[in-house]
Amino acid sequence: MSSASWNADCGNGTYRNPVLYTDYSDPDAVRVGSDYYMVASSFSNVPGLPLLRSKDLVNWELVTYVLKKLPAKRYERPVHGCGVWAPSIRFHEGVFFVCFPMPDEGIYMCTATDPEGKWSDPVMIKEGPGWIDPCPFWDDDGKAYLVYGVAKSRIGYKSVLWLQEMRPNGLGLAGEPMKIFDGNENDQSTIEGPKLYKRNGYYYIFAPAGGVKTGWQTVLRSRDICGPYEYRVVLRQGESGINGPHQGAWVDTVNGEEWFLHFRDVYAAGRIVYLQPMQWKEDWPIIGIPKNGEEWGEPVDCYLKPDVGAKAAICAAAFRESAPDLSLQWNANPQKGWRRERGGGICLNAVLKDGVYGDIPNLLLKKWSAPEFSCVYFFVLSSLTSGDEAGMISMGMEYGALSFVRDEERIRIFRVHGKQIFGKILCERTEEKKEEIGELPADTDRVFISYSVEQKGERTLGEDPIRYPEETVCMLYGTDKAEFSEGLTMTASPGRWVGVKYGFFCCSAKEESEGHVTILPAL
């Protein structure tokens, strides 16, 4: 098993899918000049709304986040599965726009002239629960519009797309919403995630349907932005092994090629990103490779890289960060005093723990970066005070953690297993078990923790016909990097709409503590 990240660039002018084996759900992208920018859902993790950049649609770099915090007080605590759902990104008259929904609060807009610099604070442009998956559009006559969908869990119905006029500056809506497509009236159930474009006098709405795990990509077409719209399925799984290929972004290259970015749900690892070639036939798109004269295509496993007019550098991995630890996100809106700045490594202060491990707000979490990988971190525990604890967690709806608790002169070792039980929307309760498994030697206050993910075959889920990877998470610990003891082993399961994350915590049984932990990657 390699510790390297996934690399989609084959180095010979071809690429392999997925281009990102990382949980970037509901991707949307735009090309500006020779740069591509992509955003994705971030739910209740903060900072929110990751922004990635690419020169060739294959090699991607995480460059910043649009949101420093979520714009609602409830996110001072984890609200798993809520927060930022499917966003969109557009560029209009020198300004970048990112529009995103929070299904319990409303639809928001952020703007920037430099996408890698400072973004504006979010402005709510449509208030109320249930409105999701918005996408702004500016027409040739100067008018602007917003297309969006609905969440049945909040509004009581699904499979309907709405269109509403938008102020040209993108910071408000006008008029009344118009229903422009109802998937309940045809075979397009669960249609959502609309993205609005214009080409050759037609308005196109790219929208996924059929559900996340087994769905397809649909495209609507009309000569009038208000409809009526005809529709066609343009991408299906077909005979490929890529389930549910849908929801994403149509982009082009400077040399006129057409491409489509979408996600695929692989269960524990989350929703990973694929790149498909795209072509047009009689003013209808076909995504992937057309099969047997059908109007739709099948997704590709390998293909020629996009012709972007220049050779982009191949990264050490197809995904990288523009700054150390940029991919780390908190479990809730961060508070002052959670982390202290220190040259090298991560330094976390001991914060009062007043709930189960899965609901610790100051969990600092990182997405999986490959189907299989391993990493080792060095924890300096000498600055913990009595009642403080620090450790590592593998976070999903089923989670596991190793915790090292300072108890007077001892450091005791605990193993934690937890399971979140969800109702219709929110987590109703968590079942958690904590057991002591040992203690560190009296003269030791430092420990190595190894975290690894290994695929053990495939699994099915109930009546779901899809075969998903089955991953085992293993966490080991030791005072010597060369010799480890088993901490915990578990079968991975995802979080609420998100893939498994792993990360760090430092907390205390005391209201106030001066303790802290320093965490360094063990090279």
Helix, strand or coil, per DSSP, at residue 156: coil
Q: What is the pLDDT of residue 482?
A: 80
- What parts of the chain have a pLDDT lower than 70? 1-4, 311-324
The residue type of 204 is Y
Q: What is the pLDDT of residue 159?
A: 98
Q: How many CA atoms lie within 13 A of 167 on its CB side?
A: 10
Dump pLDDT digits (tens) for 346-372.
999 999 999 999 999 999 999 999 999
Calculate the alpha carbon distances from 459 to 46, 107, 211, 268 in Å: 31, 37, 19, 11
Which residues belong to the active site?
Answer: 26, 192
DSSP string, 315-353: PSSSEEESSTTTT-EESSS--TTSB---SSSEEEE-EE-
Long-range contacts of 424-433 (CB under 8 A, 24+ apart): 424/153, 425/81, 425/82, 425/153, 425/154, 426/79, 426/80, 426/81, 426/82, 427/80, 427/81, 427/496, 430/356, 430/358, 430/359, 432/356, 432/357, 432/358
Q: What is the pLDDT of residue 1?
A: 43
Q: What is the pLDDT of residue 293?
A: 81
**3-state secondary structure labels for all residues of 419-485:** EEEECCCCEEEEEEEEEEEEECCCCCCEEEEEEEEEEEEEEEECCEEEEEEEEEEEEEEEEECCEEE
Q: What is the pLDDT of residue 5?
A: 81
Q: Which domains does the chain have, with CATH numbers?
A: 14-321 (2.115.10.20), 335-521 (2.60.120.200)
Q: What is the pTM of this model?
A: 0.96
Tell me how far apart the alpha carbons of residues 353 and 361 are, in angstroms, rounded to a whole number: 9
Dump pLDDT digits (tens) for 198-224.
999 999 999 999 999 999 999 999 999
Q: What is the pLDDT of residue 3?
A: 52
